[in-house]
Amino acid sequence: MLLAAGTRYAYRLCGRRAAAALQGHAGRSCARSVSTSWSPVGAAFNVKPQGHLWDLLGERRADFVKIGHPEQAFREAAQEACRSIGTMVEKLNTNVELYQSLQKLLDDKKLMDSLDAETRRVAELFMFDFEISGIHLDEEKRRRAVDLNVKILDLSSAFLMGTNFPIKIQKHLLPEHIQHHFARDGRHLVIDGLHAEASDDLVREAAYKIFLYPNADQLKCLEELLSSRDLLANLVGYSTFSHRALQGTIAQTPETVMQFLEKLSEKLCERTRKDFEMMQGMKTKLNPQNSELMPWDPPYYSGVIRAERYNIEPSLYCPFLSLGACMEGLNVLFNRLLGVTLYAEQPFKGEVWCIDVRKLAVVHESEGLLGYIYCDFFQRANKPQQDCHFTIRGGRLKEDGSYQLPVVVLMLNLPHASRDFPTLLTPGMMENLFHEMGHAMHSMLGRTRYQHVTGTRCPTDFAEVPSILMEYFSNDYRVVSQFAKHYQTGQPLPKAMVSRLCESKKVCAAAEMQLQVFYAALDQIYHGQHPLKKSTTDILMETQEQFYGLPYVPDTAWQLRFSHLVGYGAKYYSYLMSRAVASMVWKECFLQDPFNRAAGERYRREMLAHGGGKEPMLMIQGMLQKCPSIDDFVDALVSDLNLDFETFFMDSK
């Protein structure tokens, strides 16, 4: 998952020591100086770090600190810093003198023609930022736009906190035999999630109905957030917030997004119905007294079906997937595909925020040092559960001709190594690692003139393409066989086990994709025409019926737990769109040979290098040698459901 890396307004900070160490020029033929202290990447992740517990970084990006810092006081201070910076940037976006200077540049055709394509695009993006902030309005309306932006920031923060807030109920309200499934607080039980994987139907039902029970304050917060976004969009000249949010994306307009979702839903309909019938059949088999398939059932029963058909027990895979082995696998892939090697480097005292953080230098075979990745991979108290990528400092061409190298943080939640064995990953953890490393390499390999468009700072529906593409590599036996070996015996992971794992992912995959279509459609409607014709809950009920199929559960309000309405407002469809693009790139360029160096170089040249400095559809067209249509995107997603995974396991010739 990409967090806090795509916004155009964010400021980037980094540690002084890291900043001092990063030098070089993007276009020079000579390699940058390399350290003699680098060590193999696999060993660095399969042993505990040596040395002192380092002090915390002096300067760093507030967006990262508010999520990743181990101390609450720092997180709270960073939250306030984010708010202050956001307010300041919104004021800059309504600064008339800056706007007039930029307008003068854009109106000078001779001068604009003399600029390179990326500089012209960045100038246009800055003008877009001005316009969506209401620069063309009179002074009173500009002030109102700033106030609305600040209000939206506050409402977003409040709503986000409410999406994870646990519910307490008195113990006697639940049957005694399921009470032990929930945490206790005196005479109360604490329901802090959906317990979607619980084997007891009643546990899942209780968690669903209690955790999703409407909260009046959260409902009011959501309504105010959606209303404020609409007011801001109208104020600056857009008919809806969705029209404002989608400018510059692959999709461009909400009409295109809905066309994409409706066509995909139509193509999925029959497959989804069969998936639901299959899950209901399993529920009838296991619980004949209560066999109706309900919204709390699919995650559990699809898992039961997968386990029964394919014997996919994660613990059978874990010994073959030590973290060090997986990191070496990524190293092999990047080296063969892109000429890039990862090296572990000992951080300076005061450079990292936790003793478990590993520092990687990313080095190209001819260009030298490309940047640094800080790997905050291990579980700790108060660490958020989501996997994230943060840009601490973006790359840019400096005035002296050298290149400011990028610095990023990857945050995962992996188990610690023990005295007897290293950190062992489930297949899902391994896939997440590849996904997040896709974001990191997007940042490392981007070579833009300006930080404004570096790496993952690109439209949301394009930003996930490199990370999702990495998931395809993580499911290909030709790649997996390079590193998946038993940590004790060295035995390779059997080909049949990988084949079963990949085949199992097709089980109920249509229903899962249909659920994503439902979420994306709901997001579009919430950010469409206002005032909304019905309550957000009534809209949820109607949209669920149209785009999903399982019945709405009375007295629930799932939308109040939909945290992505904050970071992905009007853009939740981006996951599906990015997956469609990644699927096309995989099949066109890497399916025959996942280590194809020529395809890897083309991928870097046409897609990774530009960040947001080039229109996303032009990058896609450059990679695929054609301009895909909405039908092409839909067909790519549907074809994945029918993919014969045996083609993934062809022996390399």
Nearest partner of 402 among 361, 452, 368, judged by Cα = 368
Residue 134 is encoded by which pair of tokens?
């209401």
Assess contact for 264 and 270: CB atoms under 8 A. Answer: no
Q: What is the DSSP letter of 264?
A: H
User: What order do you get walking across the sheet with 358-364 strand by strand?
Assistant: 39-40, 340-345, 358-364, 368-378, 407-414, 388-393
Assess contact for 416 and 399: CB atoms under 8 A. Answer: no
Query: One of 205, 345, 351, 436 is an active-site residue; which one?
Result: 436
State the DSSP H helix or E strand holding residue 341, giving kind and residue range, or none if neither.
strand 340-345
For 588-597, letters b (16+ CB in 10 Å) and e give ebbbeebbbe
Contacts of 451 (CB under 8 A, 6+ apart): 12, 394, 395, 396, 404, 457
State the DSSP H helix or E strand holding residue 410, giving kind and residue range, or none if neither.
strand 407-414
Residue 411 is encoded by which pair of tokens?
């945050």
State the DSSP H helix or E strand holding residue 392, giving kind and residue range, or none if neither.
strand 388-393
Residue 188 is encoded by which pair of tokens?
């109360």
3-state secondary structure 147-210: HHHHHHHHHHHHHHHHHCCCEEEEHHHCCHHHHHHCEEECCEEEECCCCCCCCCHHHHHHHHHH
Task: Report CA 644 to chain centroid distance, whole Å.
Answer: 27
Task: Report the distance separating Cα 426 and Cα 428, nearest Å.
Answer: 5
Bin 4: left if φ > 0, else alpha if -120 < ψ < 50, else beta. Answer: left
Assess contact for 433 and 382: CB atoms under 8 A. Answer: no
**Can 471 be counted among the known catalytic residues?**
no
- Give the amino acid at 569: G
Contacts of 109 (CB under 8 A, 6+ apart): none
Task: Report the distance separating Cα 236 and Cα 128, nearest Å.
Answer: 11
- Bridge partner list, 304: none
Nearest partner of 570 among 245, 256, 259, 128, judged by Cα = 245
Task: Report the distance separating Cα 380 and Cα 618, nearest Å.
Answer: 42
C-alpha distances out from residue 270 to 298, 503, 510, 511, 552, Å: 17, 20, 9, 10, 20
User: What order do you get walking across the sheet with 188-191 strand by strand?
Assistant: 167-170, 188-191, 183-185
Task: Report the distance separating Cα 308 and Cα 297, nearest Å.
Answer: 16
Assess contact for 138 and 236: CB atoms under 8 A. Answer: no
Residue appearing with tokens 């069969």: 274
Residue 639 is encoded by which pair of tokens?
């074809």
Task: Report the distance separating Cα 403 and Cα 405, nearest Å.
Answer: 6
Per 3-state DSSP, what percentage of the chain is helix, strand, and coil (rounded to 5)? Answer: 55, 10, 35
Residue 31 is encoded by which pair of tokens?
């390699």
Q: How do 407-414 and 396-397 pair as beta strands?
A: unpaired
Assess contact for 307 and 315: CB atoms under 8 A. Answer: no
Residues catalogued as catalytic: 436
